Structure 1
Amino acid sequence: MQIPAKEVEEEFDPVAECNWNSLMAFLSCDTQWRVSGVGMAGLVWVGLDYTACDVAFRRGGFSDELWNDVRVMEEAALPILNSGDD
């Protein structure tokens, strides 16, 4: 379900209108991360499960053109997720 940008509460940082659909597509995949357990070292975030994201995209009505944006955000998120800062 795509939420119009104007309906987002003020607690969120502003998102440029031109980036809104990309953000919503990325967030539609937010529960689809692949994680690997590495014993005492904790978890390693591997990346998004693309098969599951495909379902989220189709069910959410997101266009294929947004996929590259999601992959850019995934690439940016991985170092942060794997930084060990809790």
Structure 2
Amino acid sequence: MTAAGAAWVRGELDGAAPQEAEEDAALWGIELPEGWNDRQLDEGIWQEHLPALLAFLAVSGQWRTRPHGMGDIRWIGLDYGAVRDGLDLAGITVTPDVWADLRLIEAGALDELNKER
């Protein structure tokens, strides 16, 4: 899920790289079934992670930042009060599991947003 956050920052939510998935599966000794890549859903996200990604995308403008250096900013994290309001207004019900996944997406986005450029 952190990779989804980083991909959001880079504008790369256009599908997971099949080679990376195959390498990960090999590393963990997982045999991917025939046609595994055909079972991916919207933007390379597996179905069980889609609710968290949709929730994140609904509130992805609700960041807290602070000044950092000469005209730069430091990304602190999502403003959880604004996130709650945004999710409520969007009619998105968030379970503890979806919230945990949303926080992982946030962590991946924060790592990418705060990289030295």
Q: Which range, TM-score by smaller chain? A: 0.7 to 0.9
Give identity over the alignment, percent: 32
Greater CA radius of gyration, 1 or 2?
2
In structure 2, the CA distance between the partners of 1:74 and 1:33, relative to structure 1 (3 Å rule), is same
* Aligned equivalent of 2:76: 46
CA–CA distance in structure 2, aligned partners of residues 69 and 54 of structure 1: 15
- Runs of 4+ in structure 1 off by over 3 angstroms are none
Q: Does 1:59 align with 2:61?
A: no
CA separation in 2, counterparts of 1:46 and 1:34?
Answer: 5
Does structure 1 residue 27 correspond to structure 2 residue 43? no
Q: TM-score, normalization: structure 1?
A: 0.76
Q: Which residue does the alignment assign to 1:68? A: 100
Shift of 1:41: 6.0
Root mean square deviation, CA, Å: 1.7
